[in-house]
Structure 1
């Protein structure tokens, strides 16, 4: 079992707790910050870490700069211990991540 939390406490070290960087902005500056955060977290001995690939806060999906940003973030995410594409996107979809996949669900 793995728990996902925004914070790391001494008691959680070695307890299969995954830390994620929280709801972050969708920007190149934030991507660069996340690379530094990943390095610092790993050097702190926290092995299970993730970021919201593409950032969390809204940006239009049709924006060419955002599409390039997500591509670069995917490349970075491939080297993170946990791979998590997550965010609040426009236009809003029903608040049901399991039920909405863009295609027919079985």
Structure 2
């Protein structure tokens, strides 16, 4: 079953504090401009390595611009055996609205 959960920025913040991995699927230039502190950039080039190197039971939160594309990526990760996958509703924009001091550049 390819199941994931949609969560709010507040729920994602709590999960991150508990050790969830944040993956940002926005384009590299946008990610470099600003992203959630500690997030990993994930794209077609790094996807296979991420899947191979990440424990499938570790919570993973997928972030995009506004929370739409992340749902497809979260479903894909779930189909690859990840059992605790989340899509951030509202995406990076929602996070930045709630936690502007917890973003970084580079």
Q: TM-score range by the shorter chain?
A: 0.3 to 0.5
* TM-score normalised per structure 2: 0.40
More helix by share: 2
Give the structure, 1 or 2, with the largest relative contact order (CA under 8 Å, sep 6 or more).
2
**Max radius of gyration: which structure?**
1
